[in-house]
Structure formats: C-alpha cells, structure tokens
Amino acid sequence: MRPFLIGGALIVATTWPSFALIHTGHLWAIVIGVVLFLALGHAMVYAPLPALYCEMFPTSVRYSGISIGYQMASILLASFTPALASAMVLWADGSLWMVTGFVIVTTLIAMAAIAFAPTAETAN
C-alpha cells in the first residue's frame, strides 16, 4: 500500500511539469515529460496493484472480485477519459489546466480509496 501512496504523491507532484513539457511540442521535452510522469509515479502505482487486489478479496471470490472491479472501472471511468480530456482542452482554449486538475483530483481520490481499502494488513 505504501508504494501506491508514494507513487500517487509523485503523480500529483509531476503532473503539471510533465504536461507542460509535453505541451511544448518539442521532441526532447515530450520524451522527458512522458518519462517523468510514467517512470516515477505511474510505475510505482501500477507495480503493487496485483498484490494489493489479491489482498482485498478472499480466495473463494478473488478472481471474480478483481475481474469485475477492474473491468467495471475500465468501462465506466477509463473509456470516457480521452473524450473528456479532449473536451476539457477545448473548453479551456488549448490550456491544459483542466486536464492536469482532473489527473490530480482523480489521483487523490484513488489514493484515498486505497488508504481506506480493506486488506490483509488491516484485517488483523
């Protein structure tokens, strides 16, 4: 759980600098922005997720619980995110402040959800 929370904090800290670098349109700035965002926070968030998901469900329903939860979140949230981000950029006249705010707010929500999620650590 700690790597997820540290990774979430790194995502919050690197979102604006990463998007600002990507928005410049210069190749090396884009590469640095993507690497900064993905290599720091994103990797630390995604690496512990399989183990964390396993701790959330008892063995008898683990496969179904993980699958249903993950796929429903993908359908309901992730599928609309690219269209929503595009709309935000249009509404903000090309500025990325709404998109960066969206990333930061959703990351903070995910961090709060994980911080309060029942796991094997909290069950004892």
Q: Say what the pLDDT of residue 78 is.
A: 86
Q: Could you tell me the pTM of the whole model?
A: 0.84
**Both tokens assigned to 96:** 């990325």
Distance CA 46, CA 39 (A): 11
Separation of alpha carbons 121 and 78, rounded Å: 29
Which residue bears the tokens 């990797």? 43
Q: Residue 117: what pLDDT?
A: 85
Q: First-to-last CA distance in the chain?
A: 15
Per-residue pLDDT in tens (0 to 9) along the chain, 124 residues: 889 999 999 999 999 999 999 889 999 999 999 998 888 889 999 998 888 888 888 889 999 989 998 899 889 888 899 999 999 999 999 888 999 999 999 999 999 998 898 865 555 5
